[in-house]
Every structure is written in C-alpha cells, then in structure tokens.
C-alpha cells in the first residue's frame, strides 16, 4: 500500500510539473500602427482593460472576446529585460511576441508587420 501511495504521489507530481503555467493579468493596453514616414510606432492613448494571458508551454491564450491564441515557435531575442519569440496566431498569421521584464514598465506585446498591441501588467 505504501508503494502504491508513493507511485501515485510521484505520478501526480509529474503531471503537475508537465502542465506548468503562468498567468499575466493586464490592466491597460495600447494599439500602435507602424508609420513608414517616421519609421516608428504611433501609439493610441492607453485604455483600461482586464485581459488575462495564460502561458502554458509554448502557447499563450488571451481572455479577450476572440480568445486569441499565440503559439511561440522559437526565441528570436533574449536579454535581461525582455524575451522575443517568433510566433503564429490562431489565424495562422506570423507575429512576434515580446515579454518585457522591466520592473518599471512590464508589458506583453503582440507585434505584426504594421500593427502592435501592448498590454501592461
């Protein structure tokens, strides 16, 4: 009986570890459009939102109306303040996901070629 309990406990532990996840709770967002004239993003005014992002393995799921899903493919850049992934969204479009780790300005960005969504958390 002790062996069975030990094996069961070990199996539960492994199951929990294999489904490790993190939740990011955003409180505001901004939408940006790319300007070819200035070669920079033009950002709209930030607005209050309550969108949660569930990060599980290489998938990010947003709690927005569209249930947006981003599948990360590989890390394209990483330093002490941010991580960038090449990704695809739920519609198969290529995008870049950037997770800023800066304490003063934490944000998750979903960047397409001419449109960017920035979520502050």
Reported as a single tens digit per residue, the pLDDT across 69-109 is 999 999 999 999 999 999 999 999 999 999 998 888 899 99
Query: What does the pLDDT read at residue 14?
Result: 40
Query: Percent of the chain having pLDDT more than 70?
Result: 83
SS3 content of the chain, % helix, strand, coil (to 5): 15, 55, 35
Query: What does the pLDDT read at residue 15?
Result: 41
Q: pTM for this structure? A: 0.80
Beta-ladder partners of 82? 100
Give alpha helix (H) positions in the chain. 2-18
Query: What does the pLDDT read at residue 90?
Result: 97
- CA–CA distance, 8 with 99 (Å, rounded to integer): 37
Query: Percent of the chain having pLDDT more than 90?
Result: 77
């Amino acid at each position: 009986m002790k062996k069975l309990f030990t094996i069961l406990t070990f199996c539960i532990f492994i199951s929990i570890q294999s489904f490790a996840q993190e939740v990011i709770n955003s409180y505001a967002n901004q939408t940006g459009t790319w300007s070819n004239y200035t070669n920079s993003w033009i950002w709209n005014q930030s607005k209050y939102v309550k969108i949660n992002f569930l990060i599980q393995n290489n998938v990010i799921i947003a709690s927005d109306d569209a249930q947006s899903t981003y599948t990360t493919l590989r890390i394209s850049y990483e330093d002490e303040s941010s991580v960038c992934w090449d990704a695809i969204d739920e519609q198969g479009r290529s995008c870049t996901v950037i997770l800023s780790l800066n304490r003063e300005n934490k944000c998750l960005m979903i960047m397409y070629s001419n449109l960017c969504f920035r979520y502050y958390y």
